[in-house]
Chain A
Amino acid sequence: MKNFKELLSSSAKAHGHLCPGQAVGVRMAMLGCRLVGLDNPTEHSQIKKLLVYVEMDRCAADAIAHVTGAKLGRRSLKFTDYGIMAATFVNVETGSAFRVISTEEARDLVTLYAPGVRGKASQQLMAYQQMPDSVLFRVQQVRVPVKDSDLPGPTRYKAICSRCGQVVRDRREVLVDGEVLCKPCAHGAYFNEAKEITWPEMNWTPASTGVSREPHRKHDQRILHAHAEIPSH
C-alpha cells in the first residue's frame, strides 16, 4: 500500500477536492485493511479478498473506495445507508471483519490537535492527520454473514417480475402473496410518475459519425418537448 500522503493526494484528485473527509476516509481504509491483513488490497492477488461496507455517502466513502479499490460494480463495495461515519472491512478468505467507526469526540478535539490553523475545514484537515488512530477511531470486531447472492462474480440468480416483466438479479426479487415482484412493484420506488418516452437521435451508437449529440440546440429541445408529450405505452 502506498503511504498516507500519496493516498491522500490521489484520493483528493479522484474525489475532486481535498477535504477533512478524505483524511478520515483514507486513514479508516488504511486501518481497516491492516486489521483484516490485506496490506495491498488493490493488488491483483488481494483484490478479490476484500469486501467493504460503507455506512454513509459522504466524502469519506470515496476515499475508502479509492484506497481499497473496492467498487460498487465489482460488488466489493457495499453501501448501507445508515448515515454513520463507519465502514466494515471483510477478508472473505479468512472471514475476519472489523467495523471502524469515526469517533464524534475527534471533532471536539480539532482545535487542540491543530491549534493556530485558520478556517474550520483546514483545521479539521490538519487535525485529522495529527490525531492517532486511537483518538480518531473506535473498532469493533464483527461477523458479517455474506450471502452468496452478495458475493462478487457472475450473476448466479435471475428472476422476472410478474407485474412489469423486469429481470431482477441476485435474489433482490420480493415474494408477495406467492407473486414474484421487483422491489419497485412491491414497495414503490425512489422515483414516481414514470412514463416511458422516446428521445432525439435514438439510433445513435458509439460508431455513429457526423451526428451532433448536443442536447441544447433549439431543434433538439423542440424534439425533446414533442416526444415528452407522447404518453407512455
Chain B
Amino acid sequence: MIKKIKVQDAVGTKLAHDITEIRPGEFKGPAFRKDHTVCDGDICHLQRLGKDHLYVLDLEQDEIHENDAALILGEALAGDGVRCEGAPKEGKVRLLAERDGLLMVDTAALAAFNMVEEVMCATLHRYTLVKAGELVAATRAIPLVMKRVPIERAAAIAKQNGGVLSVKTLRKAKVGLIITGNEVYHGRIKDRFGPILTEKVKAMGSDVMGVEFAADDADMIGKAIRSHLSKGCDFLLLSGGMSVDPDDVTRHGIRLAGATEVHYGSAVLPGAMFLVAYIGDLPILGVPACALYHKTTILDLVLPRILAGEHVTRAELAFLGHGGLCRDCEECIYPHCPFGKGS
C-alpha cells in the first residue's frame, strides 16, 4: 500500500525511493537515497526538487519495491560473462560485461521480457565487442511498488536460455592467410591484402601463423589450404578471386580442399561476394576485394562472431541485410554507426 503525505509532515519518515536531482549540464543523480530519514533541514531541499508530497510505503505480502524488483530482474537477465553492478540506483540496475568479448543478446527473450508490463530492459546491440566492466544493459521495474508475480514471471522469461545477456570470449585463433590472384603471385603488383587482414586478425586477439600466395588456379589454392591445415592453422582467410570473372576460382579451390559447407554471398554492402565455408568445424572466410578499399566491410561483422564460436551459415549472412548497407562516410566511425546492427 502507498500513502501520500505532505512533505512538511514527513519529518521522521523514511523515503520510499531515491529522489533524483537534475542540475542541467552539471549533475544528475540521487539527492536523497531510499530509506533516508527525513529531517527538518531536508524539507526546503525536497520542495526545491518539486516535492510537495512524499510516499510512505506499507507493502502487502504480494507486493515488491522497485529496488528489490530491479535486483531480481538484473540477476535473471545476466547470463554468462555479465553481472549486475550492485545495488539499484534510482530504481535501475546496470549490467556490466565481466570480461572482454562479444555481447550476445537473446533478442526474442528480451522482447518477451519487455512485453511483461511494468518491467524494462535496454541493451547494446548484440554482436558488439565489449570490454570488461563496460555497461551492456540496464533494467528497472517501472512503478515504485508492484505485484511480485509479474516480476517473477519476467525473471523466468529472462532466464529461459540462461539469461538474456552474455559475453562470449573470442578464441585466440591460429590464422592462415592465403592471398590469391595472378597479379600478386607473379609479382605484377605488391600485395596489400595481407597487411590489412593481419591487422584485423590481430585486433581480435588472434595470430597470423603464415601467409601463402596462390595464382588464380583452383588446385594451387586447394594445396595452399591444405598446407596451412597441415601446419596447424585452425582458421583460414582467403583474399581475392571471389568475384564473377573467369579467373576467379577461389571458391572452386576451397571446394577442392574438402569444404563440407560453402555459403557464398552475403546481404551486406560492401561484401556481397563474401564467402563462409567450413572443413568440418574449421572456418574459412573468402574476403572479396572490397576489403582493400573500404575500412569496414562484412569481414568486420562476421570475424568476431566466428571467433566467438558462432557457426555462420546462409541464414546469418542473409539476416544481415537489414542494416547491412554501409553509408560510406568520409570518416568511418564504425562500430559507432548502424552498419550491421539490424540483424
Contacts and interface: CB of A to CB of B under 8 A. Distances in A.
Contact of B115 (A109, A115, A132): A109
Given A115-B319, A138-B153, A105 B107 contact: no
Q: Which of B112, B116, B157, B160 has the most CB of A within 10 A?
A: B112
Contacts of A108: 115
B156 interface: yes
A135 B112 contact: yes
Contacts of B315: 116
Contacts of B156: 132, 134
A105 B160 CA distance: 16
Contact of B108 (A103, A112, A134, A138): A112
Contacts of B318: 116
A56 interface: no
Contacts of A130: 108
B108 A113 contact: yes
A105 B115 contact: yes
**Interface size band for B:** 10 to 19
A14 to B, nearest CB: 30
B159 to A, nearest CB: 9
A47 interface: no
Interface string A82-118: 0000000000000000000001010011001101100
A131 interface: yes
B111 interface: yes
Interface residues of A, number: 14
A112 B153 contact: no
B112 A105 contact: yes
Contacts of B108: 109, 112-113, 130
B157 A135 contact: yes
B157 A112 contact: no
B160 A132 contact: yes
B312 to A, nearest CB: 15
Given A134-B157, A135-B157, A109 B319 contact: no
Contacts of B115: 103, 105, 108-109
Q: Which of A108, A113, A131, A135 has the most CB of B within 10 A?
A: A135
Nearest to B158: A134
A113 B157 CA distance: 13
B24 to A, nearest CB: 38
A103 B160 CA distance: 17
B125 to A, nearest CB: 15
Contacts of A109: 108, 111-112, 115
A113 B110 CA distance: 11
A109 B108 CA distance: 7
B181 to A, nearest CB: 35
Interface in A55-87: none
B114 to A, nearest CB: 9
Nearest to B117: A105
A134 to B, nearest CB: 4
Interface in A172-217: none
Interface in A117-139: 130-132, 134-135, 138
A108 B113 CA distance: 12
B205 to A, nearest CB: 30
A112 B126 CA distance: 14
B111 A116 contact: no
A89 to B, nearest CB: 19
A135 B160 contact: yes
B131 to A, nearest CB: 28
Nearest to A137: B153
A224 to B, nearest CB: 56
Contacts of A112: 107-108, 111-112
Given A108-B115, A112-B111, A135-B112, 16 more contacts: A103-B115, A105-B112, A109-B108, A109-B111, A109-B112, A115-B319, A116-B319, A130-B108, A132-B156, A132-B160, A134-B153, A134-B156, A135-B109, A135-B157, A135-B160, A138-B153
30 contacts: A103-B115, A105-B112, A105-B115, A105-B116, A108-B115, A109-B108, A109-B112, A109-B115, A112-B107, A112-B108, A112-B111, A112-B112, A113-B108, A115-B319, A116-B315, A116-B318, A116-B319, A130-B108, A132-B156, A132-B160, A134-B112, A134-B153, A134-B156, A134-B157, A134-B160, A135-B109, A135-B112, A135-B157, A135-B160, A138-B153
Interface of B: 107-109, 111-112, 115-116, 153, 156-157, 160, 315, 318-319
Kindly list the 10 A-B residue pairs having the minimum CB-CB distance in the complex, ordered from nearest: A105-B115, A112-B108, A134-B156, A135-B112, A132-B160, A134-B157, A113-B108, A112-B111, A109-B112, A135-B157
